[in-house]
Amino acid sequence: MAALSTTLPLTRDSVLQAHKVIQPHVHRTPVVTNQTLSQLASTPRQDLEGTRFAGREPAKPVLRLWFKCENLQRIGAFKVRGAFYALHRLAQEPGWVEGGGREKGVVTHSSGNHAQALALAARENGIAAHIVMPHISIPAKIAGTKGYGANVIFSGSTSVEREAVTEKVIAETGARLVSPYDHPDIMLGQGTLGLELQEQVERSIAEGVNPAGQALRGVYEGAALKKTRKGLDAVIAPCGGGGMLSGVALSCEGTGIRVFGAEPSHQGADDAKRGYEAGERVEAVSSLTVADGLRTPVGKHPWSVIYERRLVSGLFSVTDEEILRAMRLVYERMKMVVEPSACVPLAVALFDEDFRGMVEREAGEEGWDLGVVFSGGNVAVEALGKLLGGEN
């Protein structure tokens, strides 16, 4: 990463600047609406018995959902935004190019979306990329990363083993480490999706048509016709390392749009929520939640935005069962391929009575236009039957 001393301040304006830089390299992913899911989100749950909300009066929120489809982003996830911006910033560093920075390259350890994002961004910037992956990674991911021209180096699967191999690569090549989330440049890059989402929803409501060019109808008409505020009221995004959530929060700063984080609760993967409530960042997590992109603890830099500056209004967590239920609805009703991590915000909107009760109290009958971030769509297709068939 570029030196911390050179990063732009963590403001909405810096996200706008990052957007100008990466725009030519990333997709402006579509925002889609969905009648069925918005209606479901706006219907009181009839199935609270046997859940952690048993005995409560079901909440009656009104929610119009606007899905930001980063599953349709390049490499299938939002991670390219941060990767392109981080490499741009690195190349701006005085002396980096002249010192052979491109040839020495960049390095990261990841078996997920960040690996492919960095490999792609490096290739398009003419920079060497070294990716440390556990040797147990699935062949498709290894092939994908190699396909972008990266040098894949295998390691053991614990974080200690992976970091040791990474250090070795740095010592041997002089490559610069590019972190998946814990750096201001990554946060600013990922936050650009929040800017697009705001603009796309505002335009849709102003023109009375959804982003596919069809008249807003059904539950969405209310947004165009009745509300005083013509645009998003809130955004909910997944929170793993927190790079994207904090970036989206920055993109909303000063707009009046509230930002929420969504986490899996399985085996304590809701570290950000717990830390937020306890007033102290949780630094280690060991969870095998099905939302495999969200198994990491929140990083220090994201935390400074999410908690210390209170740019995130709250965090909510859902069970793996709720995540898979939401995922199944996305496949069946939206015909969209998403990975489990991407379904966590929708699961909160549909199933978390704490969140739903808050929307009911705060928004009343007018309801909220809620941006829901579909963070990625990289799921091993072989596993889909098991993921989607396990419950009904």
Residue 337 engages a second copy in binding (rule: CB under 8 A): yes
Nearer to a second copy, 46 or 214 (CB): 214
What is the separation, in whole angstroms, between the first and last Cα of the chain?
Answer: 45
Q: Segment near a second copy (CB under 8 A), from 237-245, 294-302, 329-337, 350-358?
A: 329-337
Q: Segment near a second copy (CB under 8 A), from 125-133, 156-164, 244-252, 380-388?
A: 380-388
What's the chain's length in residues? 392
Token reading at 333: 């009703």
Shortest Å, Cβ 211 to a second copy: 8
Burial degree of 93 (CB within 10 A; 0-12, 13-18, 19+): middle
Residue located via tokens 């209004």: 313
Residue 72 engages a second copy in binding (rule: CB under 8 A): yes
Token reading at 194: 């929040």
DSSP-derived 3-state class of residue 316: strand
Q: How far is CA 289 from the centre of its chain?
A: 16
Residue located via tokens 């929120």: 61
CB-CB neighbours of 286 under 10 Å? 9
Residue 340 engages a second copy in binding (rule: CB under 8 A): no
Residue 385 engages a second copy in binding (rule: CB under 8 A): yes
Q: Segment near a second copy (CB under 8 A), from 39-47, 148-156, 157-165, 324-332?
A: 324-332
Torsions phi, psi for 50 (to 5 deg): 85, -5
Nearer to a second copy, 20 or 335 (CB): 335
Told to judge if 317 belongs to the known catalytic residues of this protein, a careful annotator would answer no
Residue 60 engages a second copy in binding (rule: CB under 8 A): no
Residue 384 engages a second copy in binding (rule: CB under 8 A): yes
Q: Between the CA of residue 300 and those of 288, 303, 314, what are the distances in Å?
A: 22, 5, 18
Residue 206 engages a second copy in binding (rule: CB under 8 A): no
Sign of torsion, CA 185 19 305 266? negative
Residue 209 engages a second copy in binding (rule: CB under 8 A): no
Among 61, 76, 275, 293, which residue interacts with a second copy (rule: CB under 8 A)? 76
Shortest Å, Cβ 72 to a second copy: 6
Task: Please tell me the distance from the alpha carbon of residue 323 to that of residue 270, in angstroms, as a whole number.
Answer: 13
Q: Considering CB under 8 A, how many residues would be counted as binding a second copy?
A: 27
Strand partners, 152: 131
Residue 331 engages a second copy in binding (rule: CB under 8 A): yes
Residue 213 engages a second copy in binding (rule: CB under 8 A): yes
Residue located via tokens 């947004």: 223
Task: Please tell me the distance from the alpha carbon of residue 281 to that of residue 275, in angstroms, as a whole number.
Answer: 5
Residue 388 engages a second copy in binding (rule: CB under 8 A): yes
Residue 230 engages a second copy in binding (rule: CB under 8 A): no
Strand partners, 63: 368
DSSP-derived secondary structure letter, 333: I
Residue 212 engages a second copy in binding (rule: CB under 8 A): yes
Residue 211 engages a second copy in binding (rule: CB under 8 A): yes
Q: What is the DSSP string of 189-208?
A: HHHHHHHHHHHHHHHHHHHT
Nearer to a second copy, 147 or 156 (CB): 147
Told to judge if 230 belongs to the known catalytic residues of this protein, a careful annotator would answer no
Residue 386 engages a second copy in binding (rule: CB under 8 A): yes
Shortest Å, Cβ 45 to a second copy: 18
Of 14, 110, 111, 251, the active-site residue reads 111
Q: Mask 8-27, x = binds a second copy (CB under 8 A)? A: -------------------x
DSSP-derived 3-state class of residue 86: helix
Shortest Å, Cβ 336 to a second copy: 6
Task: Please tell me the distance from the alpha carbon of residue 77 to that of residue 119, in angstroms, as a whole number.
Answer: 13
Token reading at 151: 């040098």
Chain positions contacting a second copy, by CB under 8 A: 27-28, 30, 71-72, 76, 211-214, 328, 331-332, 334-338, 377, 381-386, 388-389
Catalytic positions, written as ranges: 79, 111
